[in-house]
Structures are given as structure tokens and as C-alpha cells.
């Protein structure tokens, strides 16, 4: 496992039958869900899972999502989803995803989500001031992402 995987987790997902459609491939909407799986897994492993964030009263709503479909994943395959932080300003966060075949490494889907930070009362949050621990986590992820050339 290389350093890049170590950061992004190399989260694995086994394609389920209920994720296929009648074209015999994974329905394109499911990759958006896999992005979320990889993102929340990443946060979990960094000690800042949704539970911890909810406890802190902070939410990370999705502002936008995009996906580029290269090769369809199929039932029976296992994919690896690499998530890396490509932008972090303290008020906005961008996460990038590479979905690839866990065995062959063939690129299936590339994607990106952008997030804001809001407190439970839905006011905007400045991480550096309000949640310095979380600020440091994302800053570190951004540095690691740069170091790995993503």
C-alpha cells in the first residue's frame, strides 16, 4: 500500500446486485453514494466521523457534486475509492474521488464534491476560529494531497 492509499484510505466497496440497472451495469447515481462512503470513512479514520461532528454541532452540507464516467462497474466486482482533499480554505472544502477496480486498477469514475461548514443553527462557521482541531485535519489532508500530486 503506497502513501497515497494510506491517506485516502483506499476504501473498498463490493458492488451489490441492487446497485445494477437493466443495462447490466451499476446505475450512475450510485457512484455519488460511494463518494459519500469514502468521504465518511476518511473522516472516521481521522477521528472526526459524523458522530463526532454532530456532537460538535457541525454539519458539512454538499454544495456541489460532479462525476465523469470512464468505465462502468459491474456486479461481482469490488471497487476501491480514493478520496483526497484538493482545496480547503477554512470555509470551503473540495474532495476528489477516483473509483477504480480493486484488482486491475482500471479507472471507473472520477468525481468531486464541494462542501461548506455550518453549525446546527445553520449559521456559517469559520473552522480556524470555531473548530481548530477539524481545521488542522483538513489542512493536513490538503498538504498530503498536494504532496501526492492529486
* Active-site annotation, residues: 21
66 binds a second copy (CB under 8 A): yes
Cα distances (Å, whole numbers) of residue 132 to 42, 46, 48, 88: 18, 14, 12, 14
Q: Of the two residues 56 and 65, which places its CB atom closer to a second copy in the complex?
A: 65
Binding mask 14-33 for a second copy (x = CB under 8 A): --xxx-xxxxxx-xxxx-xx
For residue 73, what is the enclosing H or E element? none
Count the neighbouring beta carbons within 10 Å of the beta carbon of residue 83.
29
104 binds a second copy (CB under 8 A): no
d(CA 139, CA 72): 33
75 binds a second copy (CB under 8 A): yes
123 binds a second copy (CB under 8 A): no
122 binds a second copy (CB under 8 A): no
d(CA 87, CA 142): 6
Interface positions with a second copy (CB under 8 A): 16-18, 20-25, 27-30, 32-33, 36-37, 40, 49-51, 59, 61-69, 75-76
Amino acid at each position: 500500500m503506497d502513501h497515497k492509499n494510506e491517506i485516502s484510505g483506499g476504501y473498498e466497496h463490493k458492488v451489490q446486485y441492487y446497485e445494477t440497472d437493466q443495462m447490466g451495469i451499476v446505475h450512475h447515481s450510485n457512484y455519488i453514494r460511494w463518494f459519500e462512503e469514502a468521504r465518511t470513512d476518511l473522516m472516521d479514520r481521522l477521528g472526526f466521523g459524523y458522530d463526532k461532528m454532530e456532537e460538535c454541532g457541525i454539519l458539512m452540507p454538499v454544495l456541489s457534486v460532479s462525476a465523469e464516467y470512464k468505465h462502468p462497474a459491474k456486479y461481482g466486482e469490488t471497487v476501491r475509492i480514493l478520496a483526497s482533499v484538493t482545496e480547503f480554505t477554512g470555509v470551503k472544502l473540495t474532495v476528489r474521488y477516483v473509483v477504480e477496480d480493486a484488482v486491475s486498477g482500471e479507472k471507473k469514475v472520477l468525481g468531486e464534491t464541494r462542501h461548506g461548514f455550518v453549525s446546527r443553527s445553520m449559521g456559517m462557521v469559520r473552522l480556524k476560529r470555531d473548530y481548530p482541531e477539524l481545521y488542522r485535519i483538513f489542512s493536513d489532508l490538503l498538504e498530503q494531497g498536494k504532496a501526492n500530486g492529486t
